[in-house]
A = this chain, B = another copy of it.
Amino acid sequence: MEHNLQHTISLLARTPAALNALLRDLPEALTLQNEGENTWSAFDVVAHLIHGERTDWMPRARTILQFGETQAFGPFNRLGHIRESQGKSLAQLLDEFARLRSESLSELRTLNLQPDDLARRGWHPALGAVTLSELLATWAAHDLTHLHQISRIMAHQYRQAVGPWSAYLGVLQCAGHSAP
């Protein structure tokens, strides 16, 4: 399906500032807590976004433009964020994400993609044929899935404190966790 690339770029450009406004200098009781064993904290999510910026989105776009379907995307390491975040503060991660995203979008704008480019296909190792348009739309939706996740992780820290109101808060009923 086609989508509006300018809208997608608008959204992608806003994510670092939105996460910065939400998370910077927030108490660690909110940013370093997760939803239980083997789940991520808000800190982990920002590190994951950094890892995606380095290894997923623009690298895959380049693979499509250069090789089409003849070369499958390299694997994406969902635990790659651990390496990205070691020894860093959340403030450092937020700065790094903003810088990398800005570089990615600068490269994307320079490509000046036309409808024919957006229709080009690449090969995803699990999903098969995908278009460049789908990849770029997924990049934006992926930002949103992680903003959705961060809201849920932080709301989880309030699960007991809200008392009977928990029944009214949709975020506490969410089972929309991303697949591995």
Q: Choose, from A63-71, A82-90, A102-110, A171-179, the stretch at the interface.
A: A171-179
Residue of B with least CB distance to A176: B174
Q: What residues on B are CB-neighbors of A21 within 8 Å? A: 14, 17-18, 20-21
A11, A18, A163 — most chain B CB neighbours (10 Å)? A163
Say whether B133 contacts A161, CB under 8 Å.
yes
- Once the chains are docked, how many angstroms separate the CA of A161 from the CA of B3? 6
Q: Scan A1-16; emit 1 where CB is below 8 A from any B CB, else 0.
A: 1111011001100110
19 pairs across A/B with beta carbons < 8 Å? Answer: A1-B163, A6-B27, A7-B27, A15-B22, A18-B19, A20-B21, A130-B164, A133-B161, A141-B158, A141-B165, A145-B151, A145-B172, A147-B151, A148-B148, A148-B174, A152-B176, A170-B176, A170-B177, A175-B176
Closest 7 CB pairs of A and B: A174-B176, A170-B178, A3-B161, A137-B161, A134-B163, A148-B151, A17-B21
20 other contacts beyond A1-B160, A4-B27, with CB at 8 A cut-off? A1-B163, A11-B154, A14-B22, A17-B22, A131-B163, A134-B163, A137-B163, A138-B158, A138-B162, A141-B171, A144-B154, A144-B155, A144-B171, A145-B171, A145-B172, A148-B151, A149-B170, A172-B176, A173-B176, A174-B176
Binding site for B on A (CB under 8 A): 1-4, 6-7, 10-11, 14-15, 17-23, 25-27, 29-30, 124, 127-128, 130-131, 133-135, 137-138, 140-142, 144-145, 147-149, 151-152, 154-155, 158, 160-165, 167-179
